[in-house]
Amino acid sequence: MSKIAVIDYDAGNTMSVMNALKFLGYEVTLSNIPEELYKADHVIFPGVGAYADSMNKLREYGLVEPIKEIVAKKTPFLGICLGMQLIFNSSTENAGDLGVSNIEGLGLLDGIISGFKENPDFMKLAYANNANSINEIQDEKQSVSQIKVPHMGWNSLNIQNKDSKLFRGINDGCYVYFVHSFYLNAKNHEDVAATTEYGITFDSAVEHDNIFGCQFHPEKSGDVGMEILKNFCSL
């Protein structure tokens, strides 16, 4: 049975991930000590909260370089929600408040994290000028009145990579659980394992060699989520 390490950097959501993995029967360690993380067969990087604060915590705990080393030695690495976003180059979240154009991430993969409210197409759909017509404008799957920020609740995956290791045995169109206000636009389309529609199309899962990411929460996504976690832990 694989030894799984969950990275602890005060970014929340660790216990639900731990509980899901224990339920599946895995040996799980919660740690921010690099030496313990290096020993794991698989490493999971969860997160809920602000991008800049979380990057500061990673630096405070001395985890930036260890994470890059873990990835470089080809250990399977899974980012969840904010954890997936931190894998990429940068985010615009609160950047203006800090007097910069973007907040630097880990840069393990190429891509930018942006806010739904920063996207004109999303704003046009979600906040139509004519309130009387708001319920008449229809997206393919959702009415305008249902599209809010944060994107919270169940939504479907459009699996892009039919050879995906993460989604092995998972049906296209399956539903998983989301909670987020910012989304990924990956630079390289080949890194995108799944997309999701929510006013706009965004990249909801990635897969590149030993690096995996889910914008959704597999640990909160029922049987489908458990199968995704098992797929990752069996690599």
Catalytically active residues are: 81, 217, 219
Name the pairing type of β-strands 200-208 and 192-198: antiparallel
Q: Where are the beta strands (DSSP E) in the chain?
A: 3-7, 27-31, 42-45, 77-80, 90-91, 103-104, 111-115, 151-156, 158-159, 175-180, 182-186, 192-198, 200-208, 211-214
Q: Are 185 and 150 in contact (CB under 8 A)?
A: no
| Cα distances (Å, whole numbers) of residue 127 to 3, 104, 120, 178, 194 | 47, 30, 10, 21, 27
Q: Are 71 and 86 in contact (CB under 8 A)?
A: no
Sequence length of the chain is: 235
| Cα distances (Å, whole numbers) of residue 71 to 34, 42, 166 | 13, 10, 17
Q: Are 48 and 11 in contact (CB under 8 A)?
A: yes
**50 three-class SS:** coil
